[in-house]
Amino acid sequence: MSARNILVINCGSSSMKFALVNEEQATFPLQGLAERLGSPEAVLHWQLGDNKQSLEIPGADHHAALQHVLPMAQDASGGHLSAIGHRVVHGGEHFTGSCLINEEVLNAIRDNAQLAPLHNPANLVGINATLDLFPDLPQVAVFDTAFHQTMPEYAYRYAVPEFLYKEHSVRRYGFHGTSHNYVSKRAAEMTGLPVEDSCWLTAHLGNGCSTCAIVNGESRDTSMGMTPLEGLVMGTRSGDVDPNLHSYLNRTLGWSLEQIDRALNHDSGIKGLSGLSNDMRTLSEARMAGHPGANLAFEVFCYRLAKSLAAMACALPKLDGLIFTGGIGENSAPVRERTLEHLKLFNFKLDKAANERCTRGVAGEIQAEGSPRVLVVPTNEERQIALESLELLDA
């Protein structure tokens, strides 16, 4: 049988990322991004092999963008696509793994939309468009939350009245599951440890950030909660704040819930702390130039990350390694170094040269002699979605 090709699609409210994954090739034959969808500035960027191109598609929506992408994907796969894998943000308690999309699955994703009002509807738009354009191709939904459905109840329940959980689904779900799952399996491969007998702390640090405790291939706890706002300091998200902040801001500033949501989700995090940018690269440069806000944002980011990792360690019977991933985790040697300085009790020691070496896609171990393992592992959510799609096709 020739190597199979999966088209992986990740729809946001006005954007769509895509990648063609070939099961035997390390790089993607085709990948791209459609952005500003639904506006006159809609544009499609793609890379076919080494060749980068863009096309203005004024007014195009997700469906129209996919009409451009699907023939390209067919061509790039030599006329044979095996399946389409969709990233879906919220699977609620219904989905404990990936699944082939049918009417029942579509309804369940729709039912979970109230838990992710910005994301699930956009994911559904993408799924409906590909079902329409490719009705005969198997389509798979891979959920950000599903990997965390193995958390024990004492880790996923909030201490709030029971009916809020039983009748209104108020509990911790966790996100970034595809990434935590992928990097922990890669770390097991890199170190020669069996997945089913290895324990990891993972830190996915991108625009969104979360930590996870993984025991024998299963998530036991994670820092994000009912929504992706809980936990770490992120690019524009506050992470944990005192829940009474809402009533305080309402009383003192007269802010509505929408204004508070906006402030905590879009104007906070390292952007809010620095007053400068949500981008860790910009902050790193500004910090070197002596910008106090950038320095504070960096310090708070690293300290809160270390605190979260120490808390996650409660879920582990042993520690085989700490894994950094995501744009910041894979590239920022200073963030890794500062975070480990706060975790002295774990006896982490860094090999500074190895830490500097592991950037821009370079994976490796960065601990010094006598320290527990610390790994940098580039994440690859597209490949993980493709792998899970292939598993379902084979089943």
Active site residues: 144
Question: Is 109 assigned to a binding site?
Answer: no
DSSP secondary structure, 142-168, as one string: EETTGGGGGS-HHHH--SS-HHHHHTT
Question: Is 51 assigned to a binding site?
Answer: no
Contacts to ligand AMP by CB under 6 A: 206-207, 235, 279-281, 284, 326-328, 331-332
Neighbouring C-beta atoms of residue 300, cutoff 10 Å: 16
Q: Strand runs (DSSP E) across 115-269, as ranges? A: 139-143, 199-205, 209-215, 218-222
Question: Is 240 assigned to a binding site?
Answer: no
Question: Is 196 assigned to a binding site?
Answer: no
Question: Is 349 assigned to a binding site?
Answer: no
Buried b (16+ CB within 10 A) or exposed e, 225-263: bbbbbbbbbbbbbbbeeeeeeeeebeeeeebeeeebeeb
Rounded to 5 degrees, φ, ψ at 87 are -80, 125
Tell me the closest approach of the beta carbon of residue 354 to ligand AMP, in angstroms. 16
Nearer to ligand AMP, 109 or 273 (CB): 273
Task: State both tokens at 9.
Answer: 């699609």
Buried b (16+ CB within 10 A) or exposed e, 94-119: bbeebbebeeebbebbeebbebbeeb
Rounded to 5 degrees, φ, ψ at 245 are -55, -35
Tell me the closest approach of the beta carbon of residue 207 to ligand AMP, in angstroms. 4
Nearer to ligand AMP, 270 or 312 (CB): 270
Contacts of 353 by beta carbon, 8 Å cutoff, 6+ apart: none
Distance between CA atoms of residues 200 and 191, nearest Å: 12
Nearer to ligand AMP, 331 or 389 (CB): 331
Question: Is 318 assigned to a binding site?
Answer: no
Rounded to 5 degrees, φ, ψ at 344 are -60, -35
Tell me the closest approach of the beta carbon of residue 204 to ligand AMP, in angstroms. 8
Beta bridge pairs of residue 376: 324, 364
Question: Is 329 assigned to a binding site?
Answer: yes
Tell me the closest approach of the beta carbon of residue 143 to ligand AMP, in angstroms. 19
Contacts of 250 by beta carbon, 8 Å cutoff, 6+ apart: 256, 257, 260
Distance between CA atoms of residues 44 and 392, nearest Å: 30
Longest dimension (CA), the chain: 66
Tell me the closest approach of the beta carbon of residue 279 to ligand AMP, in angstroms. 4
Nearer to ligand AMP, 334 or 372 (CB): 334
Nearer to ligand AMP, 207 or 250 (CB): 207
Residue nearest to ligand AMP (CB): 327
Contacts of 72 by beta carbon, 8 Å cutoff, 6+ apart: 30, 46, 48
Tell me the closest approach of the beta carbon of residue 228 to ligand AMP, in angstroms. 12
Nearer to ligand AMP, 104 or 356 (CB): 356
Task: State both tokens at 377.
Answer: 């592992």
Question: Is 120 assigned to a binding site?
Answer: no
| Binding site listing | 10, 17, 87, 204-208, 279-281, 327-331, 381
* Binding site, annotated residues for substrate: 87
Q: Which residues are annotated as a binding site for ATP?
A: 17, 204-208, 279-281, 327-331
Residues of each annotated binding site for Mg(2+): 10, 381
